[in-house]
């Protein structure tokens, strides 16, 4: 079984490695690159704790091979903060108590982040629908919705 040399842009930085064909993207990120902010919560592609952005789209990185990401761009939770400044989605989760144990949070925030890029003013049902692939056991989702709406409000003036 041959290994593959891959080049993946992570948070804009080119990362190179030689990987097994079967290496899951989530393990590439966590173990090869040491970016442990992306988490693993299940084995049947349900929980979404492993959500990252692949070429700007949220994907469940446990159900993508690292080799599939060759030549493409990945953004993980570590990429949200820019130059020491938190992204509004991060601020929103902090302000609105959108996290408790924090394990589902990176995936939730990235899903929310991408939603706001498509839909700058989402209503409650739209947010619920967008995060329906991300499970949370702690928060009951109510404050997660508020967190995303907080971020939406913060982002909107900048967009105008």
Q: Give residues 38-77 in contact with other proteins (rule: CB under 8 A).
A: 38-49, 51, 54, 57-60, 62-65, 67-68, 70, 76-77
Q: How many residues bind other proteins (CB under 8 A)?
A: 81
Nearer to other proteins, 106 or 160 (CB): 106
Residue 15 CB, nearest approach to other proteins (Å): 16
Least Å distance, CB 12 to other proteins, is 16
Q: By CB under 8 A, is residue 149 in contact with other proteins? A: no
Stretch that binds other proteins, among 9-17, 104-112, 149-157 (CB under 8 A): 104-112
CB of 29 vs other proteins, minimal distance in Å: 10
How far is residue 31's CA from residue 140's CA, in Å, rounded to a whole number? 31
Nearer to other proteins, 36 or 153 (CB): 36
Contacts of 69 (CB under 8 A, 6+ apart): 6, 8, 25, 28, 54
The H or E element containing residue 88 is: helix 88-95
Closer to other proteins by Cβ: residue 92 or 160: 92
Rounded to whole angstroms, the Cα distance separating 4 from 65 reads 11
- Cα separation, 109 vs 117, in Å, equals 12
The one segment of 7-15, 87-95, 152-160 that binds other proteins by CB under 8 A: 87-95
Q: Are strands 73-75 and 3-10 parallel, antiparallel or unpaired?
A: parallel
Distance from C-alpha of 66 to C-alpha of 1, rounded to nearest angstrom:
15
């Amino acid at each position: 079984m041959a290994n593959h040399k891959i080049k993946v842009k992570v948070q804009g930085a080119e990362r190179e490695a030689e990987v097994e064909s079967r290496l899951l993207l989530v393990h590439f990120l966590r173990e090869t690159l040491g970016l442990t902010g992306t988490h693993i919560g299940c084995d049947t592609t349900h929980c979404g704790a492993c959500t990252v952005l692949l070429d700007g789209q949220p994907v469940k990185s446990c159900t993508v091979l690292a080799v599939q990401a060759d030549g493409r761009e990945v953004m993980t939770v570590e990429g949200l903060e820019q130059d020491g400044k938190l992204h509004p989605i991060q601020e929103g989760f902090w302000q609105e108590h959108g996290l408790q144990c924090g394990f589902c949070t990176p995936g939730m925030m990235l899903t929310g982040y991408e939603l706001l890029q498509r839909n700058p003013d989402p209503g409650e049902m739209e947010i619920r629908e967008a995060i329906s692939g991300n499970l949370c056991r702690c928060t009951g989702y109510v404050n997660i919705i508020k967190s995303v709406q907080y971020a939406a409000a913060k982002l909107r003036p900048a967009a105008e």
